[in-house]
């Protein structure tokens, strides 16, 4: 019997060894590696290369190697860069914090068992399914002084005609925050709901037996369980919100008077409207480094995935 097994296994081993050349793993990962080189590494290196140049398509006589001049200008002469960076920071913090809180509350609610839960879940997730352009259009109409909320409030004697939350520098920030909140909350609700469903019911039962109320159960069971999901989702959302261009561009064009211009929007305006592609590439590089640094710091401070180690 043992001999028979040995006799069968020998040719198998030989065939496996013979048909697995040493370069096979490299061949297998080559397509992915080439795609990454072409679609990630090359564009990044290209941006880095442009950031060291003066490059304006409409003024070819100026184009050429600029060394670190673009970066020097950003940090020492460009006050608007600091304004947009400060606005981006405020935008990310407020958006992510509010989206997390509302997303968590909604996830906890639709995790309960009640009649119409399926419909409630569909309603909560529906803004996520709406395209960015459509979202912008909805909010443009809502904020429009002729068709929007302010018109109907004025009809009811509240406020004045011809006003819009987006045209007042004092209110525009919260106007765009609310619009983005509507779009962003479902992202947290979906992710957190998925994680909530994996919490063992035994834990809650044991806690209840020990006399823990719902609030204590939330603090000591639910929240620790959601920690990694919260860290990951806030990080992802933070990066996305930092890079947000479409909604702000469509709703306010970065205005009024530059009041809602994020750093990426400034990059878009500098490159696309201003044709200063070299300077825009330098701004992009700075934004990338800031984002990378903040992401690493956040993961370190939050000890993401620490329980698995």
Partner 1 sequence: MRRSPRRGLAAVATALVLAAAASGCGDSGTSSGSEGDGTGKITFWDNNGGVRTEVWEQIIDAFEEENPDIEVEYVGVPIADVQSKYDAAIQGGDGLPDVGGVSTSYLANLVAQGALDPVTDRLAESGLDQQLLPAMLDSVRATVGEGEELYSVPTSANQGVLWYRTDLFEAAGLQPPTTWDNFYTAAEELTDREHNRFGFTIRGGAGSVAQALDMMYAQSGIDSFWEGDETTVNDPANVEALENYVGLYNTVTPEADLNNDFTNMVATFTGGEVGMLQHNLGSYQDHIDAFGEGVVDGLPMPTQEEGGPHTFVSNPVDGLGLFKSSDNKEAAWRFIEFAASHEMNSLWNESAGSIPANTEALNDDWIQSAPPTQAAVEALSDERTTIVQLPYYLPDWNNITKADTEPNFQRVLLGEMSAQDFLDDLADRLNEAQAEWLEQQE
Interacting residue with partner 1 among 9, 20, 131, 147 (CB under 8 A): 147
Q: Which stretch binds partner 1 (CB under 8 A): 7-15, 29-37, 102-110, 237-245?
A: 29-37
Residue-by-residue DSSP string for 13-69 = HHHHHHH--TTHHHHHHHHHHHHHIIIIIHHHHHHHHHHTEE-BTT-GGG-EE-TTH
Interacting residue with partner 1 among 103, 186, 254, 264 (CB under 8 A): 254
Count Cα neighbours of 22 within 13 Å in the Cβ-side half-sphere: 0
Q: Which stretch binds partner 1 (CB under 8 A): 10-18, 156-164, 180-188, 298-306?
A: 156-164
Residue 116 sits at φ, ψ, to 5 deg, of 85, 15
Q: Which stretch binds partner 1 (CB under 8 A): 42-50, 102-110, 127-135, 207-215?
A: 42-50
Residue length of the chain: 309
In whole angstroms, give the CA distance from residue 262 to residue 244. Answer: 8
Binding status of residue 269 toward partner 1 by CB under 8 A: yes
Of 40 and 223, CB closest to partner 1: 40
Give CA 198 to chain center in angstroms.
24
Binding status of residue 252 toward partner 1 by CB under 8 A: yes
Binding status of residue 42 toward partner 1 by CB under 8 A: yes
Which of 254, 278, 272, 281 shows the shortest CA–CA distance to 84?
Answer: 254
Interacting residue with partner 1 among 104, 166, 230, 280 (CB under 8 A): 166
We find the least distance from the C-beta atom of residue 37 to partner 1, in angstroms, to be: 5
Binding status of residue 77 toward partner 1 by CB under 8 A: no
Of 166 and 185, CB closest to partner 1: 166
Strands (E), the chain: 53-54, 64-65
In whole angstroms, give the CA distance from residue 65 to residue 44. Answer: 18
Q: Is 210 helix (H, G, I), strand (E, B) or coil?
A: coil
Interacting residue with partner 1 among 120, 137, 145, 221 (CB under 8 A): 145
User: Within a 10 A sphere around the Cβ of 204, how many other Cβ atoms?
Assistant: 16
Interacting residue with partner 1 among 168, 174, 216, 303 (CB under 8 A): 168
Of 169 and 306, CB closest to partner 1: 169
Interacting residue with partner 1 among 24, 37, 296, 297 (CB under 8 A): 37
Which of 17, 20, 15, 13 shows the shortest CA–CA distance to 5?
Answer: 13
Interacting residue with partner 1 among 9, 14, 20, 38 (CB under 8 A): 38
In whole angstroms, give the CA distance from residue 268 to residue 274. Answer: 9
We find the least distance from the C-beta atom of residue 257 to partner 1, in angstroms, to be: 4
- The two tokens of residue 253 are 């064009």
User: Applying CB under 8 A, what is the total number of residues that bind partner 1?
Assistant: 46
Of 40 and 68, CB closest to partner 1: 40
Binding status of residue 144 toward partner 1 by CB under 8 A: yes
Q: Are 207 and 217 in contact (CB under 8 A)?
A: yes
- The two tokens of residue 118 are 């399926």
Binding status of residue 171 toward partner 1 by CB under 8 A: no
Of 19 and 58, CB closest to partner 1: 58
Residue ranges in contact with partner 1 by CB under 8 A? 23, 26, 33-34, 37-38, 41-42, 45-46, 56-61, 144-147, 150-151, 154, 160-164, 166-169, 252-258, 269-270, 272-276
């Amino acid at each position: 019997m043992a001999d028979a097994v040995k006799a069968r296994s020998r040719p198998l081993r030989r065939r496996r060894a013979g048909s697995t050349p040493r370069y096979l793993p490299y061949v297998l990962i080559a397509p992915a590696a080439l795609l990454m080189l072409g679609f990630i590494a090359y564009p990044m290196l290209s941006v880095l290369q442009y950031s060291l140049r003066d490059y304006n398509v409409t003024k070819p006589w100026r184009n050429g190697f600029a060394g670190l001049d673009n970066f020097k200008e950003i940090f020492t002469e460009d006050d608007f860069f600091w304004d947009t960076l400060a606005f981006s920071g405020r935008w990310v913090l407020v958006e992510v914090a509010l989206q997390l809180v509302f997303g968590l509350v909604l996830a906890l609610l639709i995790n309960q068992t009640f009649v119409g839960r399926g419909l409630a879940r569909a309603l909560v997730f529906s803004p996520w399914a709406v395209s960015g352009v459509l979202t912008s259009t909805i909010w443009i109409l809502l904020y429009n002084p002729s068709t929007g909320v302010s018109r109907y409030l004025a009809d009811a004697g509240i406020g004045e005609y011809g006003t819009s939350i987006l045209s007042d520098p004092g209110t525009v920030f919260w106007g765009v925050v609310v619009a983005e909140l509507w779009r962003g909350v479902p992202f947290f609700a979906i992710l957190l709901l998925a994680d909530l469903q994996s919490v063992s019911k035994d834990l809650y039962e044991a806690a209840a037996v020990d006399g823990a109320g719902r609030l204590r159960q939330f603090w000591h069971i639910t929240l620790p369980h959601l920690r990694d999901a919260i860290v990951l989702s806030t990080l992802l959302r933070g990066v996305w919100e930092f890079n947000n261009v479409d909604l702000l561009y469509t709703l306010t064009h970065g205005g009024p008077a530059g009041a809602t211009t994020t750093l990426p929007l400034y990059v878009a305006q500098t490159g696309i409207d201003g044709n200063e592609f070299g300077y825009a590439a330098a701004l992009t590089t700075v934004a990338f480094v800031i984002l990378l640094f903040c992401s690493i710091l956040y993961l370190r401070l939050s000890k993401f995935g620490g329980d698995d180690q």
